[in-house]
A and B are shown apart, each in its own frame.
Chain A
Amino acid sequence: MDFGIFAVLAQDGVTNGAVYALLAMALVLVFSVTRIIFLPQGEFIGFGALTVAALQSSQFPRLIWLLIGIGVLTFLVELGSALRQRRYKPLPRRLLMWSVIENLIYPSFIWLLAHTFDWQGMPMAVQILFTLAITVPLGIMIYRVAFQPMAEASVLVLLIVSVGVHFALLGMGLFIFGPEGSTTHPFTDWSTALGEMPVSGQSVVVMAVAGSLIGLLYLFFDRTLYGKALRATAVNRKGAQLVGIGTSQAGRMAFGLAAGLGTLAGTLIAPLNTVGYDTGFVVALKGFVAAIVGGLASYPLAAAGALLVGLLESYSSYWASAYKEVIVFTLIIPVLAWRSLTSGHGDEE
């Protein structure tokens, strides 16, 4: 293998690793705030990529129907819980009004927007923003409907609910987008060379976007009160509740962020890869491997793990392409063995 191939593979690996890093961050975030292992992350990758693809081919983004449907469901759940508590406290009118706006009016507004404008001609950044405007509320609503009522359940129960949601969204994805995958337009045709190594504009965009998002997340968690509240919830739910941090809000926030990061990851890979409704699961699982390297707790370690996964995948596809997936997923065993040997003391509930 000469240096040229080595460099190209490295570039590929780092580019993919950057995407895995985004996914790993979202997974760490959701797990630490809610103790939920967010398997449906993968579906958002597909939702993001396919919705942008639909906008670019001037089709109606049918994901909006899902948004409207789950919006109605969320409203009914909130109305139901308000009515059930009527015996103890007056009907929370303000809350219900907000619920109407968030879950009924907002989706209709998005529907209207989708019909009003010609999205095909818009710049890609705007198309991606519009896609986010669909998927982020979707993530929040999913938390509200499926997870919030059992936020105190064990990690296992939450994990199984997570699998249930994954199945439901996967099936809906097939219904909405059909079995075929799509690609989106490239971000840019620009390319350059670093010494002997050709550098594609696509890789630069992916790395820049992923890098700046990771930076933003860092600032958010380190510098803003809201970010600190999320971290407090991650450390101790009860304690956070006692000092007035709404853990339900924190959960919704985490899901919204995770859905957004998943969507962005989807749009970042879509110009180079054909993304189908079910592509995301395996991609998200690689993010999982990265997150596990970080022990589901540390953002920098998870990012490092993501780069490792990306590079490993890239080089193993050169030497042993048939075994690419086997190698990436088997990586987890030595990593866990190493963690097991270094962590010393075991669990305590």
Chain B
Amino acid sequence: MKMSTKKLQWLMFGWFFVFPFLPVPGYWITIGNYIGLYSIVALGLVLLTGIGGLTSFGQAAFVGLGAYTTAYLSTTLGWSPWVGLGAGLVVSGLAAALIGSVTVRLSGHFLPLATIAWGLSLYYLFGTIEFLGKYDGLSGIPALSVFGIDLSSPRVMYGVIWLCLGGCLMLVLNLLNSRPGRAIRALAKGKTMPEAMGIHTAQYKILIFVLAALMASLSGWLYAHLQRSVSATPFGLHMGIEYLFMAVVGGVGHVWGAILGAVVMTGLKSQLQDLLPLLLGSNGNFEIVVFGVMIVLLLLWSRDGLWPWVASVWAKFHPPEPEVVAPAIAPDGYSDLPRRARPQAGALILEVSDARKQFGGLVAVKDMAFEIRAGEVVGLIGPNGAGKSTMFNLVTGVLPATSGEIRFCGERIDQLDSRHIVRMGIGRSFQHVHLIPQLSVLENVAMGAHLRGRSSPLAAALRLDRHEEARLLFLAAEQIRRVGLGEYMHTPAGSLALGQQRILEIARALCTDPTLLLLDEPAAGLRLKEKEALADLIRQLKGEGMSVLLVEHDMDFVMGLTDRLVVMEFGSKIAEGLPAEIQNNEAVLAAYLGGVE
């Protein structure tokens, strides 16, 4: 799915720069200005909604904050518009951080609803505050000027707007193709997977919410100085909805979809406003009917918008190349990547004592005790509903233990969350694979390297992270070769077979540099050949000194593979020992096959 359509993209973008030099009527320039302004906002929405999975109907309010801030400062106080830009960004950024921190922890649909309410309340606020001119707004806003050069003509403003858009586009593209960018992409997959990679999901959600607000604020600043007056109407909820429409029509998962959507929607709207009254008379607001129907039809036809379609047509003539490539040889400083000290073989690493987990009256895990020593492969088995997965969740920090202790390398982890546990050296895979299907195997695995780097989003957007990025990608590529997926390096993860996806998850976990690897039912749903490949990989890892805890209920799979088995039933341990002993253990046989009465 991911296609390099760079040529098409820059062709499209370059055309917009040639455009104002052509002898086109002023009306077209005006439309072009608006497309640019809308694209900046829609770009923020792509980052927020399409890539990060958070929806906002309230972007128009942030545009309004940017516009009103500069309008007030440059008219009433007479300050420079450039101060207005900074102040607008600060105001919008703070507002977004506040709203974001209130809503990001709630489940998905609360954020869009909150943004509807907040978009409305800011709109009414703009319209009622005395010093913002109530519903008349503020007028007499000065034009932009730089070093004494006046930028008031629409054709010149066109250049300014599209330069700003180009800048934003570049920063967003850079950001997405980096360590923080992969963390943002992981957000769309819920909370468990990114947290297990050490990604602070709440922080990243607030980050993209603030970034989207900053772009909206920039657009508002440009709008105020282009229009030279502001009033509340263009910052109302309907405009907020239209911004989201643009992103969705263009393709909300694709950066270039933002511009495509803004072009299509703005062009169509201006045409419809001219055309429809001629056809149907002026007694109605037909363009919103057509808009509404169009969006329903578009979503029925293609839920991902127009860009994937455009890109796939283009890809027929220009075969795609992978966008993210790992360096072929170890980059400078690769050997300096922090690595964990390995515990001595046989040293105690995981120690579970009297761990208990209660859900209300149900005791899912009842005073479990077992331990794992370095270099061991231990299987945790038991029939369905025995509490294996809950036990797994306790060790990986998805759930806190109700009582008892879990120690890893001597330190208590039973109350830590998964983000901290992965930091200590416990890597994990998932029973239901958690991958970003449209990203390549390399990019997915590199998500696991999140904690191995430290470059900030700002550094990534400015491309100051390239040395570290090369190291992380090389590390990811090494792990992919280690698990034997080398030939699929640039294949979209979604097109791998289930067995390969499970192995991909192991490679991703290996990127976190674990001392102990936890695999959650890795053999479930695999074919025989796939199981054999998986078993070979686990043996190979054991050979390299890795400790592994396998949670499984496939007896055959664990028998030949593990050093020791722990058997659970009804939340308690019923047996522990060598695989051969367990095979003949009466209690285990009774648990699996039913008692012999």
Contact = CB atoms under 8 A, between A and B. Distances in A.
Interface of A: 31, 37, 146, 149-150, 153, 155-157, 159-161, 163-172, 174-175, 178, 282, 285, 288-289, 292, 296, 322-323, 325-326, 328-330, 332-333, 336-337, 339-340, 343, 346-349
A136 B108 CA distance: 30
Contact of B295 (A160, A171, A289): A160
B334 interface: no
A171 B292 contact: yes
Interface string B95-120: 00001001101111110111011101
The 3 closest A-B pairs by CB, nearest first: A168-B292, A167-B292, A171-B289
Nearest to B296: A164
A24 B261 CA distance: 33
Nearest to A27: B113
B245 A348 contact: no
Given A163-B245, A343-B105, A346-B201, 12 more contacts: A149-B300, A161-B295, A164-B292, A169-B292, A171-B289, A178-B283, A326-B121, A328-B121, A330-B117, A332-B113, A332-B117, A336-B103
Contacts of B248: 160
Interface string B76-101: 00000000000000000000000100
Contacts of A165: 292, 296
Contact of B289 (A168, A178, A288, A333): A168
Contacts of B299: 150, 153, 157, 160-161, 164
B286 interface: yes
Contacts of A325: 120-121, 124
Interface in B533-588: none
A27 to B, nearest CB: 10
A37 B288 contact: no
11 contacts: A37-B109, A150-B299, A161-B295, A165-B296, A171-B289, A329-B121, A332-B113, A343-B105, A346-B191, A347-B106, A348-B191
Given A160-B299, A175-B283, A322 B128 contact: yes
B103 A161 contact: no
B113 A340 contact: no
Contacts of B49: 156
B102 A336 contact: yes
B241 interface: yes
Given A149-B300, A155-B108, A155-B109, A285 B103 contact: no
A145 to B, nearest CB: 8
A330 B106 CA distance: 17
B285 interface: yes
A155 B241 CA distance: 16
A156 B55 contact: yes
Contact of A159 (B99, B112, B202, B288): B112
Contacts of B120: 282, 285, 325, 329
A170 B288 contact: yes
A284 to B, nearest CB: 11
A170 B287 CA distance: 11
Contact of B293 (A153, A168, A178, A288): A168
Nearest to A153: B303
B462 interface: no
B189 interface: yes
Contacts of B112: 37, 156, 159
B191 A164 contact: no
A347 B244 contact: no
B125 interface: yes
A340 B289 CA distance: 37
B114 A326 contact: no
Nearest to B295: A164
Contact of B128 (A37, A166, A326): A326
Contacts of B110: 292, 336, 339
A348 B112 CA distance: 17
Contacts, number: 151
A347 B191 contact: yes
Interface centre among B106, B108, B248 (most CB of A within 10 A): B106
A34 to B, nearest CB: 12
Nearest to B283: A175
Given A159-B109, A160-B244, A326-B121, A336 B114 contact: yes
Nearest to B128: A322
Interface residues of B, number: 49
B53 to A, nearest CB: 8
A339 B109 CA distance: 13
B514 to A, nearest CB: 23
Nearest to A35: B109
A168 B128 CA distance: 30
B118 A349 contact: no
A326 B285 CA distance: 27
Contacts of B303: 150, 153, 157
Contacts of A340: 102-103, 105-106
Interface string B275-302: 0000000011111111111111001100
Nearest to B303: A157
Contacts of B124: 323, 325-326, 329
B117 A285 contact: yes
A346 B116 contact: no
A155 B120 CA distance: 21
B296 A146 contact: yes
A349 B295 contact: no
- Of A160, A163, A339, most buried by chain B (CB within 10 Å of CB) is A160
A156 B190 CA distance: 14
Given A288-B113, A329-B121, A349 B189 contact: yes
B233 interface: no
Interface in B450-488: none
A151 to B, nearest CB: 12
Nearest to A282: B120
Nearest to A343: B106
A135 to B, nearest CB: 18
A332 B118 CA distance: 8
Contact of A167 (B105, B128, B291): B291
A170 B289 CA distance: 7
Contacts of B296: 146, 161, 164-165, 168
A346 B107 contact: yes
Contacts of A170: 285, 288, 292
B192 interface: yes
Interface in B214-248: 241, 244-245, 248
Nearest to A295: B110
A31 B108 CA distance: 13
Nearest to B399: A345
B284 A330 contact: no
Given A171-B285, A325-B121, A346-B105, A150 B300 contact: yes
A170 B286 CA distance: 10
B125 A163 contact: no
Contacts of B288: 167-168, 170-171
A161 B117 CA distance: 19
B268 to A, nearest CB: 13
Interface string B174-194: 000000000000000111100
A171 B291 CA distance: 10
A166 B293 CA distance: 10
Contacts of A346: 105-107, 191, 201-202
A120 to B, nearest CB: 25
A330 B121 contact: yes
Contacts of A31: 109
A149 B110 CA distance: 25
B118 A164 contact: no
Nearest to A171: B289
A146 B290 CA distance: 14
Contact of A175 (B55, B118, B244, B284): B284
B116 to A, nearest CB: 7
A288 B117 contact: yes
Contacts of B300: 149-150
